[in-house]
């Protein structure tokens, strides 16, 4: 259904993707994509982000919500990337997880989208909801869901699977009123709230 699915966060580098992914927490990708062009024009490099005060950056990202925490994470991430990784976003899950603001979901997004490295399956709210509806997992914890999906999805499909599932969650399998009648996966869906 979504053969050309890709990350919806607009970016030109692994660093920009890392920042955009941190900003996307509890925020739509559409909103993030409205904020990031001006943000990256004002702060073009990790070094620029590392030298800004979090309270200043918070004003630049206010419309993404949770702006104080996100600003601290982004400035902390920039300082870590500059001081420990020579200004380059690292290419391993273990190293990425040491960066402020980068938990498993963010690390998997960056590794998969920026570097083509399948380190795991991105589990956002769409993936969480849809994989439960399709009975691919019965867990509610994102780490456990990821573990389940890594068992049933071939590794070479991990990156694309997440993008496809997220797109499906936006297009048809929406949280409040899923459009089951239009869904080609309807016969595979076990959700108790399926619509006609």
pLDDT single digits (tens) 43-94: 999 999 999 999 999 999 999 999 999 999 999 999 999 999 999 999 999 9
What dihedral angle (degrees, nearest 10) is formed by the CA atoms of 114, 99, 32, 28?
A: 100
Contacts of 123 (CB under 8 A, 6+ apart): 104, 105, 131, 142, 143, 145, 146, 149, 162
Residue 109, number of CB atoms within 10 A of its CB: 25
In CATH, the architecture of 14-115 is: Orthogonal Bundle (1.10)
Q: What is the DSSP string of the chain?
A: --TT----S--SSHHHHHHHHHHTTTS-HHHHHHHHHHHHHHS-SHHHHHTS-HHHHHHHTGGGSSHHHHHHHHHHHHHHHHHHSTTS--SSHHHHTTSTT--HHHHHHIIIIIH----S----HHHHHHHHHTTS----SHHHHHHHHHHHS-GGGHHHHHHHHHHHHHHT--SSS--GGG-TTGGG---TT---
Report phi then psi at 41, rounded to 5.
Answer: -70, -40
Domain spans, the chain: 14-115, 125-188
Mean pLDDT of the chain: 96
Task: Report the CATH fold assignment for 125-188.
Answer: Endonuclease Iii, domain 2 (1.10.1670)
| pLDDT digit string, tens, across residues 107-157 | 999 999 999 999 999 999 999 999 999 999 999 999 999 999 999 999 999
As annotated, the active-site residues are: 105, 124
Position 196 confidence tier, pLDDT thresholds 50, 70, 90: low
Give the separation between CA 60 and CA 48, rounded to whole angstroms. 14
């Amino acid at each position: 259904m979504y053969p050309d699915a890709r990350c919806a966060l607009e970016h030109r580098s692994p660093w920009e993707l890392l920042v955009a992914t941190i900003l996307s927490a509890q925020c739509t990708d559409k909103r993030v994509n409205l904020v990031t062009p001006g943000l990256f024009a004002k702060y073009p490099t990790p070094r620029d982000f590392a030298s800004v005060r979090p309270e200043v950056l918070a004003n630049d990202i206010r419309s993404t919500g949770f702006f104080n925490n996100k600003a601290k994470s982004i400035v902390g991430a920039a300082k870590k990337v500059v001081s420990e990784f020579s200004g380059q976003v690292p290419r391993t899950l273990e190293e990425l997880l040491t960066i402020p603001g980068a938990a498993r979901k963010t690390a998997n997004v960056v590794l998969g989208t920026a570097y083509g490295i399948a380190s795991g399956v991105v589990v956002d709210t769409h993936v969480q909801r849809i994989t439960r509806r399709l009975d691919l997992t019965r867990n509610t914890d994102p780490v456990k869901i990821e573990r389940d999906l890594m068992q049933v999805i071939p590794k070479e499909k991990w990156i694309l699977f997440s993008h496809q599932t997220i797109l499906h969650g936006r297009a048809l399998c929406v949280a409040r009123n899923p459009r089951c009648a239009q869904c080609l996966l309807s016969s595979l869906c076990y959700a108790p709230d399926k619509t006609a």
